[in-house]
Structure 1
């Protein structure tokens, strides 16, 4: 029992560590490449950017204020457990955005004449290469958010709105988030410094970041299936079981030899493959092993089944 508690704590600690790394990456992409070029992203950070371009109010004030309101509603509707990592992410991202934006401003002031400054006195690190800034910023944001989501985190904002709407309406979270993001990006057209080019860059940012979010999450959740044929199947199975992975033993028969033999079936995360191969090789270097990718594995130790089951009418 104690061992399970320690494992759970270690996993939680790992989640928070990677969420923090992801938030830091998002801040770099957002403050270094998006804000100086007045490119609007989605989410509450994007809404904060629109207000920043129009009034000069730093993004983190809007980001924190809006998320506090949304979190207050979400805690009542969705429960505190759903919001714990979101609360952490909102606080950390607020701090990172404040430091990042202030850092960029001071960097521009310390290097007068070296970089072109935006209307808000932020240095344009890539000169007049707005499209490159859009691509690099979107790539950093997409990879960073993928890391956050992969570790059960959330940056709040439109995620919360989507989760609340999804609870009461037959609208997917993805559809609702996309709807909110498009409205936020399009709204930048109506500020004094807004133009169609930056709106299009905003749409490009949305597409690139979403593609990279999916890519990072798919890579991180990729699973593999092992079929292991060995005379020492029982020893191999026991060792694999010690790693926390389950093993299924199937009865098989060699067609040529007509001898009965045991076949081990193991489902694992792709990142665990090397460790499994080491275990097999150490016990039986002559074992026959087949490894294949699987599209999805759902259940204990893997992803949860998220399809809503229809309630049967009594």
Structure 2
């Protein structure tokens, strides 16, 4: 319920009264509202009816129940708060603040296993098909289409550009709420002194090390490849340890968006 009202604050007090359509069904409703004066919250509810039917068929009744609740509450809250907007006429402030509020609220609603309907349902369906694409990225693409339409309808490029800024910020905040910032690094190390390095990693850095079996294509020699995940703050010390034992060590460092297990996130963390 709180998340739904946060969502409504972002829409009714910042985005809608400034004609900033942040994409999705809500963005479409904002465009129609500014043309017809029909309440945005009611439009959101009406447009979502056929989409919610699809939700029942494709995503199950449980999601439908939680989503219809979030949809009704957020639609009601949007209409309730509409007379109090806008809080600011500054398009930049409105786009940033509104996007942060909407991004946080949608992220919290998603983590609770529900949606606000509309594009959220469509995004969940797309995520079932394209699991490698982040939720916020899908939102950004679909929302960009609505933003372009808003610029054409309102005949105001500035409104469209600020709405675009809003979409980018909303996408970033949404991914931040959903996936967090583990700040982890994944290390692959090939060295002739792997045992000494692994021992110091475990003792001094308190991190686990896994040996993978590798084989050099050029030398045809078998090699142990060290695999290790650690917090990014430990990376300088880790590199120092490696160089102390082998200045010619081969090391690959990559960013790990999510790491589950001891020392990192629990396995019961919600992944959408």
TM-score range, shorter chain: 0.5 to 0.7
TM-aligned CA deviation for residue 140 of structure 1: 1.7
Name the structure 1 match of 2:69.
Answer: 88
Moved more, 63-72 or 159-168: 159-168
Distance in 2 of aligned mates of 1:126 and 1:21: 23
Q: Retained in 1: the 8 A contact 2:103–2:174?
A: yes
Q: 2:46 is paired with a residue of what secondary structure?
A: helix
Distance in 1 of aligned mates of 2:128 and 2:103: 26
Give the one of 70, 93, 96 matched to 1:132: 93
Matched, 1:302 2:268: yes
Matched, 1:21 2:2: yes
Q: Retained in 2: the 8 A contact 1:42–1:181?
A: yes
Q: Retained in 1: the 8 A contact 2:25–2:119?
A: yes
Distance in 2 of aligned mates of 1:154 and 1:21: 14
After superposition, the C-alpha distances for 1:266-286 in whole angstroms (9 at most, x for unaligned) are xxxxxxxxxxxxxxxxxxxxx
After superposition, the C-alpha distances for 1:139-198 in whole angstroms (9 at most, x for unaligned) are 22222222222322311111212333454678847354333211111111222x331111
Name the structure 2 match of 1:179.
Answer: 141
Change (3 A) 1:173 1:87: farther
Distance in 2 of aligned mates of 1:305 and 1:136: 26
Normalised TM-score (structure 1)? 0.56
Q: 2:268 is paired with a residue of what secondary structure?
A: coil
Change (3 A) 1:304 1:190: closer
Q: What residue ranges of structure 1 are gaps of 5+ in the alignment?
A: 1-19, 105-122, 225-254, 256-264, 266-293, 307-314
Distance in 2 of aligned mates of 1:143 and 1:304: 15
- Written as runs of structure 1 = structure 2, the 5 A alignment for 1:92-103 is 92-101=73-82, 103=83
TM-aligned CA deviation for residue 48 of structure 1: 0.3
Q: 2:259 is paired with a residue of what secondary structure?
A: coil
TM-aligned CA deviation for residue 300 of structure 1: 8.2
Matched, 1:53 2:34: yes
After superposition, the C-alpha distances for 1:86-124 in whole angstroms (9 at most, x for unaligned) are 1111111111112111x32xxxxxxxxxxxxxxxxxx54
- Written as runs of structure 1 = structure 2, the 5 A alignment for 1:1-314 is 20-101=1-82, 103-104=83-84, 124-127=86-89, 129-167=90-128, 172=133, 174=135, 175-191=137-153, 193-219=154-180, 295-297=258-260, 302-303=268-269
Q: What residue ranges of structure 2 are gaps of 5+ in the alignment?
A: 185-198, 200-207, 209-256
Distance in 1 of aligned mates of 2:64 and 2:183: 28
Moved more, 159-168 or 55-64: 159-168
Change (3 A) 1:145 1:169: closer
Name the structure 2 match of 1:9.
Answer: none
TM-aligned CA deviation for residue 80 of structure 1: 0.8
Q: 2:87 is paired with a residue of what secondary structure?
A: coil
Q: 1:67 is paired with a residue of what secondary structure?
A: helix
Moved more, 92-101 or 177-186: 177-186
TM-aligned CA deviation for residue 82 of structure 1: 2.9
Q: 1:197 is paired with a residue of what secondary structure?
A: helix
Change (3 A) 1:167 1:214: closer
Instruction: Indicate the RMSD between aligned Cα atoms, in angstroms.
Output: 3.2
